[in-house]
Chains A and B, each alone.
Chain A
Amino acid sequence: MRPEPRETPDAEAGSALVEMIGLTREREHGGTGFRLRVPRFEVRPGEFVALVGDSGSGKSTLLDMLALVLRPTAAERFRVRLGNESTDVMALWQQGREGRLARLRRERLGYVLQTGGLLPFLTVRGNLALPLKMNGRYGEEPAIASAAERMGIGRLLDRHPHRLSGGERQRVAVLRALLHRPALVLADEPTAAVDKTRARAVVADFRSVAQVLGTAIVMVTHDLDLVRDVADRTYRCTLGASSPSLVESVCGPA
């Protein structure tokens, strides 16, 4: 299942799933300020976007903002087109409409966290069904078994997450992130807990399933080798000290 290299479509800005222009996020920590600057960042439908950088370079902060759980300090433009309509995320934050953001997360986003982010008190089946249930899509639950079969985790359905291996857990997490057909899946170092070979397998699975479903992926990783061949687009966050009291990181195309 080798991914095809894809051309970056140069369509008009309005067709982007996520579009950030002139976004900053600042925080103060122990007398030292940290500023993340994103001059331009976009994700288009079905794209595999890699986000690389050293640790502490702010790539996870950028992912939080993409996940709609962290409020940017300022942004010229921060819109998402996750459904049929374009949404001004910055405006929602400014208006404090957290319920609307939660609904966007629930309906349009999927997540794969470092160690999966599965709920320990639910079985694999329960974890996989959760996003479907939250969106009221009970009719699709029977599809879980066949989807799990395809991912090679069909026999694990009735186990609790703590009885799975790291790789199995990540595959469950990947499936859970995709099952409710979100427009965008965010993955935060999803291969950190597995060895290189398995990591490549997880990324390959991820890529192929997303491609079938037409889901865009933003994957944060510190390992550029892992994604070089599959990424449609790569951004890199680079640290640079602008002054003794302020650390600045800029995320831009690699």
Chain B
Amino acid sequence: MSARVVRLVPGLAMADLRHEWILTLCLVIAVAAVVAPLLILQGLKHGTVATLRDRLVQDPVFREVRPTQTREYAPEWLERLGADRGVGFLLPTILPASSILGVLHPRTGKLQTLDLIPSAPGDPLLLENGGVVPGEGEAVLTAAAAAQLEARVGDRLEVRATRTRGGVAEHGAATLRVAAVLDPRAGTLPRVYAPLGFVLDVEAYKEGQAIAARGWAGEVPRPAPTYDGVLVLLEAALEPVARSGLVVNTGLGNVEDLDAAAVRGRFGWDLPAGWQAYRLTAPGGAVGAATLEALRRKLRGQGAILLPEVETRELGLRGLPAPAVGLSLTPEQAGRLGIPAPPWGGLDATGDGARLRQAWLSPENADGQGPGLELAARGVAEVRFPVRVTGTGPATGRAYLPAELLGVLRTGLQRPIAFDGEGFTVARGGYRGFRLYARAIDDVPELVQRLASEGVEVSARVDDIRRIQVLDRGLARLFWLVASLGVAGGAAVLVASLYAAVQRKRRDLAILRLVGLTRPDVFFFPVYQGSALAGMGLVLALAAYGGLARLINHAFSADLDLGQRICALPAATLYGAAAAVLAVAAASSLLAAWEATRIDPAEAIREE
């Protein structure tokens, strides 16, 4: 097979197609009739799915993954979640109850209570709904909030975070400038978006803390002591009615009588004769300062001694030479009980500072002890602090501590506390929720699965996303079904036509062989013809597709956004389709090609 002969074959094959141009045209139309509908079908599938996806992609709501429970999310956990490839935006949020903010518009005089939501740079909900991310001193309103306040961009709003402390209503005020009003698509609820820092300040203020930077008064966040229960010691037993009355309006739910052994087991000493001890517990678990105060008032004038108690085993206390017991008594109370008075005195509901960090060891334990002990408690986060040994207590084999100290450590089991050298402080715990947006809608199902596997219940528009994925897959299957039918039919037409053409042209091919074409040369004669037919059919099909797609898109243009098309094919698909058509055509010509090689050049001579 010489090179110059090889170069001649395509020209001869094309000359033959040109000569039989009517047959050629028929085959080109046949190929186009198979390919064009398939292109349209694939274009519709791709365009429809792309448009549906576009709609989802454009609305950040479909990328949102919302936690459905309010619980504590540790900052480290959130940090790890934020590092997930599928996460586009992640921001911690606060307790829903702490997010109520009173908003007053000075110009319109409207006062509304709005939900306060944190935001941060990159917030897709704001950025993709015509908003901007609010800076310090700024807020972004939802359409509903703006309507209720009759507020516009640039207006200044007076906002108030309110709280009740010690029965007194207080508020912290601030002025926020409206940076943007969101598209109604961003949500129908009246909401105000502000920087995370501001929102956390509001939360802290509502919890009673002072926010010095904003001029909001309050307390330094000291952990309030909480208890597992409270013992009431009385010189005489209560009437049954009075006994039951202890749990009325006190926040307590259960009263039980304690016998002498139980008291000795707790404290190491016996009650004086005739005294009666009751143990009161709250149904919710924790007994706080308010409950103790209510109980104290109820028992006023009866000489009752209140001893709040903590399950010390739970505290994981280390550093004491003996089991710890909480005991806060005034000297007068101690005298009535006939025991030595602890140096830190009686119960003080709000007490903190050095008074709390004392210990009273029994003599057998005090030997060899220095004046100070270094204690550690487990808590949410481990806390270490010093206590002074301020005396020797009764020889009961116990270490007596202020009841309030144990109460604070018990609080430390619920939220992290720290010791700062002067006293205990409440450390920033976890967050009570988060706002999460996936990078893309296809990341949502995986994120939901990941969170579910970590035990975090979330809700997301997974169904909408799944529906489109299912539609996409279903349509793809349908397309391949139709395509395989069409391609099989088209290939059969080509196989038959090319084979018939070789049979019709046996003599011509024999003459070509006679004048010097080799078998491999004539092999390519039908292959070139098949490829050329497919190529021309493809061009015709693309032209038909282009025209029809334009028509379809025009017909649907009213229902589509700018740039959206209901019938569209990416370039890669078009290249793939072209390659596939040529490959099928070349394959279809193989039978004819094989037949061509079997033609004997002698057939040309033996014409009869």
Contact of B516 among A105, A115, A121 (CB under 8 A): A105
Stretch from A96-104, A201-209, A224-232 contacting the other chain: A96-104
Instruction: Verify A114–B607 contact, CB threshold 8 A.
Output: yes
Q: B601 to chain A: which residues have CB within 8 Å?
A: 67, 69, 105
B555 contacts the other chain (Cβ, under 8 Å)?
no
Stretch at the interface among A26-34, A79-87, A128-136, A140-148: A128-136
Known: A64-B605, A115-B607. A136 touches B516 (CB 8 A): no
Chain A CB within 8 A of B204 CB: no
B602 touches A69 (CB 8 A): yes
Contact between A121 and B16 (Cβ–Cβ < 8 Å)? yes
Docked complex: B13-49 residues within 8 A CB-CB of A = 15-16, 18-20
- In chain A between 127 and 179, which residues have their CB closer than 8 angstroms to a CB of chain B? 130-131, 133-136, 160
Residue A113 CB within 8 A of the other chain: yes
B83 contacts across to A, CB distance below 8 A = none
B539 at interface, CB cutoff 8 A: no
Assuming A126-B15, A131-B515, is B605 touching A106 (CB within 8 A)?
A: no
Assembled-state Cα–Cα distance A82/B279 (Å): 128
Among A67, A114, A119, A131, max chain B CB count under 10 A is at A119
* Chain A residue contacts of B85, Cβ below 8 A: none
Per-residue CB contact flags for chain B residues 62-102 toward chain A (1 = under 8 Å, else 0) read 00000000000000000000000000000000000000000
A19 at the interface (CB under 8 A from B): no
Selected from B8, B513, B605, the residue in CB contact (under 8 A) with A102 is B513
How far does the Cβ of B62 sit from chain A's closest Cβ, in whole Å? 61
Indicate if B606 sits at the interface (CB-CB under 8 A).
Answer: yes
Q: Does B519 contact A (CB under 8 A)?
A: yes
User: How many angstroms from the CA of A133 to the CA of B511 in the assembled complex?
Assistant: 15
Complex CA–CA separation, A240 to B12 (angstroms): 45
Is B602 touching A70 in the complex (CB atoms < 8 A)?
Answer: yes
How distant is the Cα of A70 from the Cα of B601 in the complex, in angstroms? Answer: 9
**Of B8, B19, B514, the contact of A105 (CB 8 Å cutoff):** B514
Please indicate the chain B residues that have their CB under 8 angstroms from the CB of A135 in the complex: 4
Q: Is the CB of A134 within 8 A of B515?
A: yes
Within 8 A of A (CB), among B483-528: 508, 511-519
Q: Which residues in A have their C-beta under 8 angstroms from that of B270?
A: none
Q: Judging by beta carbons under 8 Å apart, are B607 and A102 in contact? A: no
Query: Using Cβ atoms and an 8 Å threshold, which residues of chain A touch B2?
Result: 103
The answer to the question of A188 belonging to the interface, with a C-beta cut-off of 8 Å to chain B, is: yes
- Chain A residue contacts of B519, Cβ below 8 A: 98
Residues of A within 8 A of B8 (CB): 130, 133-134
Q: Which residues of B contact A70 (CB under 8 A)?
A: 602
B507 nearest in chain A by CB position: A117
Evaluate contact between A69 and B18: CB separation under 8 angstroms. no
A120 to B607, CA, bound (A): 15
How far in angstroms is the closest Cβ of chain B from A105? 5
Q: Is B5 an interface residue (CB 8 A)?
A: yes
**Distance of B603 from chain A, by nearest CB (Å):** 9
Residue A247 CB within 8 A of the other chain: no
Tell me if B18 and A121 are in contact (CB < 8 A).
Answer: yes
By beta carbon, the residue of chain B nearest A106 is B516
Q: Which residues of B contact A107 (CB under 8 A)?
A: 516
Asked whether B604 is an interface residue with its Cβ less than 8 Å from the other chain, the reply is yes
B600, CB-defined interface residue at 8 Å = yes
- Say yes or no for A122: interface residue by CB 8 A criterion: yes
Q: Name the residue among B1, B4, B516, B518 with the largest chain A CB count within 10 angstroms.
A: B516
Which residue on B lies nearest to A63, using beta carbons?
A: B605
The minimal Cβ–Cβ distance linking B94 to chain A, given in whole angstroms, is 85
| A111 beta carbon closer than 8 Å to chain B | yes
| A121-B508, A131-B515 known; A69-B15 Cβ under 8 A | no
Q: Are A98 and B518 in contact (CB under 8 A)?
A: yes
CA distance A113 to B510 in the complex (A): 12
Check B508 against A102 for contact (C-beta < 8 Å). Answer: no
Say whether A119 contacts B511, CB under 8 Å.
yes
Residues of B contacting A69 with CB < 8 Å? 513-514, 600-602, 605
From known contacts A126-B15, A133-B8, infer whether A105 and B605 are also in contact, taking CB-CB under 8 Å. Answer: no
Q: Are B514 and A111 in contact (CB under 8 A)?
A: yes
CB distance from B17 to the nearest CB of A (A): 8
Q: A122-B15, A136-B4 are in contact. Are A117 and B517 (CB under 8 A)?
A: no
**CB-CB nearest in chain B for A138:** B4
In the assembled complex, A211 has its CB within 8 A of some CB on chain B: no
Residue of chain A at shortest CB distance from B600: A69
| Minimum Cβ distance to chain A for residue B599 (Å) | 11
- Is there contact, CB below 8 Å, between B508 and A67? no
Is B516 a contact partner of A103 (Cβ separation < 8 A)?
A: yes
A67 to B600, CA, bound (A): 12
Which residues of B sit under 8 angstroms from A188, Cβ to Cβ?
Answer: 605
- In the complex, the chain A residue whose C-beta lies closest to that of B512 is A119
> Please, which residues of chain B bring their CB within 8 A of the CB of A98?
518-519
Q: Contact between B508 and A105 (Cβ–Cβ < 8 Å)?
A: no
Query: Distance (Å) between the CB of B510 and the closest chain A CB?
Result: 9
Which A residues, 10 to 54, have Cβ-Cβ distances below 8 Å to chain B?
none
- A126's nearest neighbour on chain B, judged by CB, is B15
B606 partner residues in chain A, CB cutoff 8 A: 60, 64
Bound complex: CA A119 to CA B506 (Å): 11
Q: Which residue of B is nearest A102, CB measured?
A: B518
Closest to A123 in B: B15
Residues of B within 8 A of A133 (CB): 4, 8
User: Judging by beta carbons under 8 Å apart, are B19 and A120 in contact?
Assistant: yes
| Residues of chain A within 8 A of B513, CB atoms compared | 69, 102
| Residues in A neighbouring B518, C-beta threshold 8 A | 98-99, 102
Which residues of B are found within 8 Å of A106, using beta-carbon distances?
5, 515-517
Q: How far is the CA of A160 from the CA of B15 in the complex (A)?
A: 12
**Chain A residue with the shortest CB-CB distance to B18:** A121
* Chain A residues with CB below 8 A from B602, complex form: 64, 67, 69-70
Q: Which of A60, A120, A131 contacts B508 (CB 8 A)?
A: A120
B residues in contact with A67, CB < 8 Å: 514, 601-602, 605
Question: A131–B516 Cα gap in the complex (Å)?
Answer: 8
**Contact B19–A160 (Cβ < 8 Å):** yes
- Give chain B nearest CB distance to A34 CB in angstroms: 14
A181 nearest CB across to chain B (Å): 14
Contact B15 A121 (CB under 8 A): yes
Query: What per-residue 1/0 map shows which CB atoms of B184-216 lie under 8 Å from chain A?
Result: 000000000000000000000000000000000
Q: Report how far A13 CA is from B5 CA in the complex, Å.
A: 34
CB neighbours of B5 from chain A (8 A): 106, 134
Q: Is the CB of A134 within 8 A of B4?
A: yes
Name which residue of chain A comes closest to B520, CB basis: A99
> In angstroms, how far is the closest chain A Cβ from the Cβ of B23?
12
Closest residue of chain B to A65 (Cβ to Cβ) is B602
| Assembly CA distance A69 to B605 (angstroms) | 10
Select B1's contact among A99, A117, A130, A160, beta carbons within 8 Å.
A99
Q: How far is the CB of A136 from chain B (nearest CB, A)?
A: 4
A111–B515 CB distance below 8 A: yes
Cα A113 to Cα B602 in complex, Å, equals 11
Q: Please tell me if the beta carbons of B516 and A102 are within 8 angstroms of each other in the complex.
A: yes
Q: Given A64-B602, A133-B4 in contact, is the A102-B517 Cβ separation under 8 Å?
A: yes
Instruction: Indicate whether A119 sits within 8 Å of B605 (C-beta atoms), given known contacts A98-B518, A103-B516.
Output: no
Which of chain B's residues have a CB closer than 8 A to the CB of A64? 602, 605-606
Knowing that A105-B516, A131-B516 touch, tell me 7 more A-B residue pairs with CB under 8 angstroms.
A69-B514, A98-B518, A102-B513, A102-B516, A106-B517, A117-B511, A122-B12
Minimum-distance CB pairs A-B, first 7: A106-B516, A121-B19, A69-B601, A121-B16, A136-B4, A69-B602, A102-B518
A selection of 20 A-B contacts at a CB cut-off of 8 Å is A60-B605, A63-B605, A67-B602, A69-B513, A69-B601, A98-B519, A99-B518, A103-B2, A106-B516, A111-B514, A113-B511, A113-B604, A113-B605, A114-B607, A115-B607, A120-B19, A120-B508, A121-B15, A130-B515, A134-B8
B residues within 8 Å of A by Cβ? Answer: 1-2, 4-5, 8, 12, 15-16, 18-20, 508, 511-519, 600-602, 604-607
